[in-house]
Amino acid sequence: MSLLSQTLARVKPSPTIAITGRARELAAEGRDIISLSAGEPDFDTPEHIREAGKAAIDAGHTRYTAVDGIPELKRAICDKFRRENGLDYTPAQITVGTGGKQILYNALMATLNPGDEVVIPAPYWVSYPDMVLLAGGTPVVVEAEMQNGYRISPEQLEAAITPKTKWLILNSPSNPTGAGYDEDAMRGLTDVLMRHPHVWVLTDDIYEHLVFDDFRFVTPAQVEPGLKDRTLTMNGVSKSYAMTGWRIGYGAGPVELIKAMGKLQSQSTSNPTSISQFAALAALEGPQDYVETSRAVFQRRRDLVVEGLNKCPGIVCPMPQGAFYVYPSIRDLIGKTSAGGTVITDDEAFATALLDETGVAVVFGAAFGLSPHFRISYATSDEVLTDACDRIRRFCEGLV
Ligand code: PLP
């Protein structure tokens, strides 16, 4: 009898492991490596939030809490949704988990049956399809091309929906493209969903606060209140408050779904860390100036990277509306040979040669379901980004 489950066999190992492992090996050999693959803010958690975490320890908040979140935090989350998104939820409609990731996982595990389909626009965050597979569902990938702003159209959504569709997963602004759906674009999708009452919406709003220029963030239940009874609005403190390691995410939706997710959590992890819940409470209720400061820094870095990459022959880098990623195309580089003798057959070959020959680690597009592209995370200093763009430009100039 095989040790490992058949469910696990459905899941692919992360395609990013190879490149991350190679970057680590080269760094261990003493090579000067620039890693642009991390999906987290490079800032420290703001001081008042750190202090709230320390105070929680000293106040003895170090025991089990209610499985899906302390009441004070649930109330603060309701206030956040009212204040920032115009959405009214009661604490019974809120669940708190170990990162947004657990919220997504709970929702899919609690709702999918074999054969259920989940529509996922590509490029997607790497975990969506594999979580769907783990939960026994079938991912239905819809490609959002660069020329369409990396957004799927209402027609594409309409064509992807079948009687078996259970969820649409939306992520705006997106990891890996930074593309966002403004109110008009979102309404195009919500209009389609209103015609298909059996389809639920899982909206991953984790990059809500990282939006640039005049882009205004919207979430589906706000644009179309008629969808609220079949929407799970997911968010968290990881990206907005530089709290990736604290592991707090939350979801808001109909009580039946929220209860089912809590049941699952009660038999798996139980409550998210008590200390982190108090820190998250301080993040949501305390001063919000960090949110604007970091947003402005990320916007400046986005401009720097987009400009730097568009100077690289053969690379086309669109301007994202949010998050901290760019997702340039390398279509014009396919078939060329690098100075080190590697033929750029696809985006994985590009990323591998770029790392070997320049020391810059990026994630290739196939990992996110749309090629030939690569993803850069610009959550690092201007100096590092300038150096990385120079190295990428020299690499591209050396291709024949
Ligand atoms: N959703 C997206 C699109 C992400 O990029 C990430 C983290 O990289 C997450 C969810 C998970 O965030 P959390 O730290 O809240 O689990």
Per-residue pLDDT of the chain (400 residues; tens, 9 = 90+): 889 998 888 887 776 677 778 888 898 999 999 999 888 888 999 999 999 999 999 999 999 999 999 999 999 999 999 999 999 999 999 999 999 999 999 999 999 999 999 999 999 999 999 999 999 999 999 999 999 999 999 999 999 999 999 999 999 999 999 999 999 999 999 999 999 999 999 999 999 999 999 999 999 999 999 999 999 999 999 999 999 999 999 999 999 999 999 999 999 999 999 999 999 999 999 999 999 999 999 999 999 999 999 999 999 999 999 999 999 999 999 999 999 999 999 999 999 999 999 999 999 999 999 999 999 999 999 999 999 999 999 999 999 9
Same domain as 278, residue 294: no
**Residue 276 sits in the same domain as residue 379:** no
Query: With the C-alpha atoms ordered 113, 93, 195, 181, is the resulting torsion angle positive or negative?
Result: negative
pTM above 0.95, yes or no: yes
Sheet holding 374-377, edge to edge: 325-326, 374-377, 363-364
pLDDT of residue 38: 82
| Ligand 1 atom with the shortest distance to the CA of 244 | 14
- Is residue 171 in contact with ligand 1, taking CB distance under 6 Å? yes
Boundaries of domain holding 323: 6-44+290-394
Q: Give a yes or no: residue 53 inside a domain.
A: no
Coil vs helix vs strand at 373: strand
pLDDT value at position 16? 67
Q: Does the beta carbon of 121 sit less than 6 angstroms from any atom of ligand 1?
A: no
Distance 35 CA to ligand 1 centre (A): 19
Is 116 part of a structural domain of the chain?
Answer: yes
Q: Return the exposure string of 230-245: e unless at least 16 CB atoms fall within 10 Å of the residue's CB, then b.
A: bbbbbbbbbbbbbbbe
b vs e for 380-398, b when ≥16 Cβ sit within 10 Å of the residue's Cβ?
beeebbebbbebbbebbee
Ligand 1 neighbourhood includes 204 CB (under 6 angstroms): yes
Best residue among 124, 177, 238, 241 to mutate for probing ligand 1's pocket (most ligand atoms within 8 Å of CB) is 238
DSSP 90: -
Number of domains forming the structure of the chain: 2
Contacts of residue 196, Cβ cutoff 8 Å, sequence gap at least 6? 161, 165
Supply the CATH number for residue 387's domain: 3.90.1150.10
Do residue 150 and residue 255 come from a single domain? yes
Is residue 399 in a domain? no
Instruction: Evaluate whether residue 342 is within a structural domain.
Output: yes
In a domain, 51, yes or no: no
296 and 153 in one domain?
Answer: no
- Tell me, yes or no, whether 325 and 277 share the same domain: no
The per-residue pLDDT for 270 is 98
H-state helical runs in the chain: 6-9, 17-28, 47-58, 71-85, 99-111, 127-134, 154-160, 183-194, 220-223, 255-266, 274-285, 289-310, 347-358, 382-397
What is the DSSP annotation of 170-223?
A: EESS-TTT-----HHHHHHHHHHHHT-TT-EEEEE-TTTT-B-TT-----HHHH
206 lines ligand 1 (CB under 6 A): yes
pLDDT of residue 292: 96
Q: Rounded to an integer, what is the distance from CA 108 to the centroid of its chain?
A: 16
Contacts with 32 (C-beta within 8 Å, 6 or more apart), sequence order: 359
Q: What's the 314 CA to ligand 1 centre distance in angstroms? A: 31
| Ligand 1 pocket check for 240: Cβ under 6 Å | no
- For residue 259, the domain's CATH number is 3.40.640.10
Are residue 299 and residue 281 in the same domain, yes or no? no
Residues 129 and 239 in one domain: yes
pLDDT of residue 256: 98
Task: Supply the pLDDT for residue 22.
Answer: 83
